[in-house]
Each structure stands twice: as structure tokens, then as C-alpha cells.
Amino acid sequence: MPPPKPVTRHPASGGSAARHGAHAPASAAERPRQPAPAPRGPLLPPRASLLDPRAPYLVPLIMLIISRALFAIILPLASEDAYITYRYAWNLANGNGLVYNPHERVLGFSSPLWTLWSALGIKLMHDAIAPLFAPVLWARGWTLVADVATLLVVTATLERRHGRPAAWCFAFFFAGWNYFAAVASSGMEMNATLALIALGAVLAERGSRLTGPVLGALALARPEGLVAAVVLAIGASMRDRIVAALVALAGLAGLWIYFGTIVPQSVVAKAQMYGTPGPWAGRLWWEWLSPFPLGTWGLTSEGQIVSRLAVLLGPAAVVGGMALWRERGSPIARLVAALLAVWLGYALVGVSYFFWYLIIPLAAASLLAAIGLPRILKGPAVYAGAVLFVLGAWLIAPALYIDRARAEARGFYDTASDLARWARAGEHIMLEPIGLIGYMCPLVVTDETGLVSPRVAKRRLEGPGWLADLLAAERPEWLVMRRGEMTDTLAFAGVGRPFRSPAERDSTLARYRVAAWENPNAGDLALGLLHRAR
């Protein structure tokens, strides 16, 4: 006779466990199991997934390459600030030392890592490519590599931990949103910094021996990179922390020995000239994510565009954050924590807005929203609408960056071209836009914002008349000013009036004659190139 089959009861069916209450001991099989940790899997997706159009890799990769190539074509020059780094790199590659002006050791670049890497590119490419484009092509090529690494590593980790829908959301937005492509064309180090943060988070979770070197490199990528590296190091092994610290300390020690400081003068000058107005002014770093408009449709051009998605992105980011909090030891949670630390710093301090800084806050928001969207959306309709918006924005948003580039080309490039014809190497020039002009012309530069000229920032903080005093003391052969500055006593940017009175302005500028007007149709922003007459 077969043994009787065991009787299974639902907890609500009145079995003995239900009758005796919740204090009845449960067997090991009946105890609720903790979710098993997600498998680590390979760092990069397997080849079969890369070639599968249904997986979140092939189509986003194609989109990423096309979008970056398109911006590289329509924007032949890098952003203005990139050329400050390139001048340092050019001097280093050509044996003049890591300086902007000869014999002036001022730490005027924000990224030691990117500056040295740019110097290598200039050294390798100087015979093959025109000097103006060598560092730009080098930077954009490696930025493409960095973006591909970010896309593959983050998307593969998202797919394993949060499912394919979340992976698709991030991959599509990162590859297709026009802003990320615009920053990739800027020649700046921000995309590489983002890639290092992503790699550091994933490698730390895997216990890879590459974690320490990557975190050390991240600490030298930017001041924000140092903050992110410290956050990621919390979840790394002791071995990786020691290696990262040794790499970072070696780089910082080199900066201290060479420059006498580890704090970039560019960071100090921006804080002094533009101020640190605090959280309310810092809302421009996050207002575009708020479904509730804070009295404006956006304080920045990029924010105005992203804010169209706030009703969707805001709630999704909150839900995604709640999901990450439940598994805060995961690599994606560590990645988001590092990004949020930088984002929070921007917002609390009220850091002045430069469009390439937004990549870290926007990457954090897109990650959170990618995790949250599949949890709040059912059906394809809203996804289809979001896809159409991301693609349709390409009919509008690129004009923003094209207009900026054209304005810089008409003003800065034309000024540099005139100076290249008229000025002699070694002559002295005072101006505010020191990027492209400084890179193209071998002149001794006094920077009106103080990015590479600490004495200027110090004098500006002392009160009005700083420009009149500096011109009288240094007597530069050349001067570049905007039309509005020449007809008023207000500075173009930063604190301190350049002249104490209209009379002082007129008497000071009487020593110069206008050699050329660049971009004359720009009104008060037209650049005047002035040559010293007496």
C-alpha cells in the first residue's frame, strides 16, 4: 500500500500554523529566502548579445557613433576652454614645460590626467595633422572610446541587475540624447571622467586588480573625480584603496612639487570671480528634473530642453532611487552614489554653470530614471512617446551648440587669425577669452578672469579699477575687449568694475587704437582688438 501523500495547506486555509499564530516555528524550507545576489557575469556583454538587435547594445552603439560623428562634423573646433588645456599640453609636448606662459608655473588646468594625455596626442600627431586640429581629433577619438565603454559596461550591469527594459532605457538615452554627443565634441575631459567613474564602480564590485589604478586615475581626472573616487573607494577592498591612494598621491605630489599647489587656479578663480551663491542659485543643476516648475522653464538652455521630460523623468528617478536603496551594495548603486556626491556638491555650493559640467548630474538622473521607468510604466505607448521626443529633439537642440560654435569662431578664431598676422611672438596681450586665441598665438597672456593669472584674480577682489591698474603696470602691446566694456564701466564676467569712472576708462583706452572689430554684428559682445599706440 503506497504511503499517504502529504497534505499541503495554504496559510490562510486554517492549518495548524495559522491556528497557533505567527510564533509557530517554520522549517528551513518554509522560511522566506533572501534574493540571491545577481551574477556578476562578464564585464562586457558577450559577442552574441552585441550582434543581437533585440539586446540593448547594437542599436545604441550605432546611434552613439552616428551622433558623435555628426557633432564632430558640424562643430570642427573644440569648446573654448578646451584650448587652455591644449596650450599646456602643446608646451609640454614641445619641451617648454607644463606651463601656459613661458616660465610661469601656474596650475591653470582642471585635469592633470587629460592634459598629459593631450600632450601625448600632440606629440604623436604633430607631423601628420595641423596643430589646430591635432588635439581636437585626439580628444574626440578617445572620448568616443570612453563613451562606448560607459555604454557597454553600464548597460550590461543594468541588464543583469535590473532587467533588459532598464538597460534599454539608459542605453537609448545615453546614445541618442543630443547633449551627450555635444559634450563629446567639446574636447573636454568630462566623458572620460564619467567612463572612469562607471568602470571604477563595476570593477570595485568585481574585486578586479584594475580597480585601484582606475580609481587613482579618476582622482586625477578632475576635482570632481577625486570626490567620486573617494565615494567609490568606500566599497572597494583595502588593497584597491591602497593602490588608488598611491596613484593619486603620486600625481598630487608631482603637482605640488611643480606648481606649489594641488588646487587648480582655474577652480579658485571661478569661485572668486563668479562666487558660490548657495543652494537656491544651485537649483539650476536639478530644476529640470522637478515636475513642479520653480518659477521658470529652466535657467539654462540644456535645462529648458530636458525639463520637457520632467513629468516622466522626475517620478521615475524617485522610484529608481528607492529600488537602488534596497540594494545599495550593488555596482549601479555605487555608481549613482558617486555621481550624486558630485551633483549634490554642485547644487549646494551653487557652482557656476558651464554646460559640460551637466554630464554628471544628467548621467545620474538618466540611470535612476532608467531603473524606475519599467516599474511605473505598463505598455509601450509612453516609451514610444519618449523615443520620439529624444529623436525629435535633434531637429531643435543642435542649433544651440552650432550657434555657440559660430559665435566663438567669428570672434575668437578671427581675432587669433589677425593676431597671427600682426603680432610678434613674445608680445604681451591681455584678454578674457584665452582659449582658442591663446592656443593659436604664441603671445604672453594676462588672463582677465585669473584662470592662469592669479595676480589678476587677487587684484579684482580688491575693488574697482583693476583693469586700469593692470594695464598701467603691465603695458601689454595688445588688448581684447568687448564693445560693451569699452562703452561702460562694467566687466563682462566676474566681480569688480574694470574702471573706477568713465573718465578713467577713456584715458586708459586712449593709449590704444582699435586694429579690428571681430563679429561686429554681435552688438555689445563684438570683440575689439586693440593695439597699444603709446
Helix (H, G, I), strand (E, B) or coil at 373: helix
β-strand pairing of 512-518 with 527-532: antiparallel
What is the crossing angle of helices 134-162 and 112-125, to 10°? Answer: 130
- Give the three-state DSSP class for 338: helix
Q: Give pLDDT tens digits for 427-479.
A: 999 999 999 999 999 999 999 999 999 999 999 999 999 999 999 999 999 99
Say if CB 75 and CB 401 are below 8 A apart: yes
- 148 or 8: which carries more pLDDT confidence? 148
Instruction: Measure the CA–CA gap between 276 and 272, rounded to whole angstroms.
Output: 8
Q: Tell me the CA distances in angstroms from 343 to 224, 335, 361, 372, one per residue in order.
A: 9, 12, 5, 19
Range in 22-36, 92-106, 484-498 the model is least confident about: 22-36
pLDDT of 10 over the 70 cut: no
Residue located via cell numbers 576635482: 223
Of 244, 235, 234, the residue nearest 209 (C-alpha): 244
How many whole angstroms separate alpha carbon 347 and alpha carbon 276? 10
Q: At what angle do helices 223-234 and 190-206 cross, to 10 degrees?
A: 10
Residue for grid cell 593619486? 248
- Nine-digit cell string for 402: 552650432
Cα-to-chain-centroid distance, residue 284: 15
Q: Residue 475 phi/psi, 5° resolution?
A: 45, 55
Query: For 320-352, what is each residue's pLDDT tens digit?
Result: 999 999 999 999 999 999 999 999 999 999 999
Q: Higher pLDDT residue, 52 or 11?
A: 52
pLDDT above 90 covers what percent of the chain? Answer: 82
List of residues 6+ apart from 198 with CB closer than 8 A = 149, 150, 153, 154, 335
Residues 6+ apart with CB under 8 A from 392: none
Helices (H), 15-104: 16-19, 47-50, 58-74, 82-93
* Average pLDDT of span 378-406: 93
Cβ(338)–Cβ(228) under 8 Å? yes
Pairing of strands 444-447, 428-431: parallel
In the chain, domain spans: 47-396, 401-532
pLDDT grade, residue 83 (50/70/90)? very high
Could you tell me if 337 and 325 are in contact, meaning their C-beta atoms sit under 8 angstroms apart? no
Give the C-alpha distances (Å, rounded to integers) separating 481 from 87, 233, 467: 21, 46, 11
First-residue to last-residue Cα distance in the chain? 120
Amino acid at 172: F
Whether the model pTM is above 0.75? yes
- Mean pLDDT is lowest, of 17-31, 206-220, 284-298, 509-523, for 17-31
**18 is written with which cell numbers?**
495559522
What pLDDT was estimated at residue 39?
54
The span from the CA of 485 to the CA of 234, in Å, is 49
- Going across the sheet that includes 527-532, the strands are 444-447, 428-431, 478-482, 527-532, 512-518
Residue that has been written with the C-alpha cell 596681450 in this structure: 429
Is a pLDDT exceeding 80 seen at residue 26?
A: no
CA separation for the pair 469, 321 (Å, rounded): 53
The three cell numbers of residue 375 are: 516599474
Look up residue 24 and give its amino acid: A
Lowest mean pLDDT segment, chosen from 366-375, 473-482, 518-527? 518-527
- Cα 452 from Cα 134, distance rounded (Å): 23
Q: Which residues contact 232 (CB under 8 A, 6 or more apart)?
A: 197, 200, 201, 204, 215, 218, 334, 338
* Contact (Cβ atoms closer than 8 angstroms) between residue 511 and residue 532: yes
Taking the C-alpha atoms of residue 230 and residue 220, their distance in angstroms, rounded to an integer, is 12
| Average predicted confidence (pLDDT) for the chain | 91
Phi-psi region of 533 (alpha: psi -120 to 50; beta: other; left: phi over 0): alpha
- Where is average pLDDT lowest: 25-34, 128-137, 259-268, 423-432? 25-34
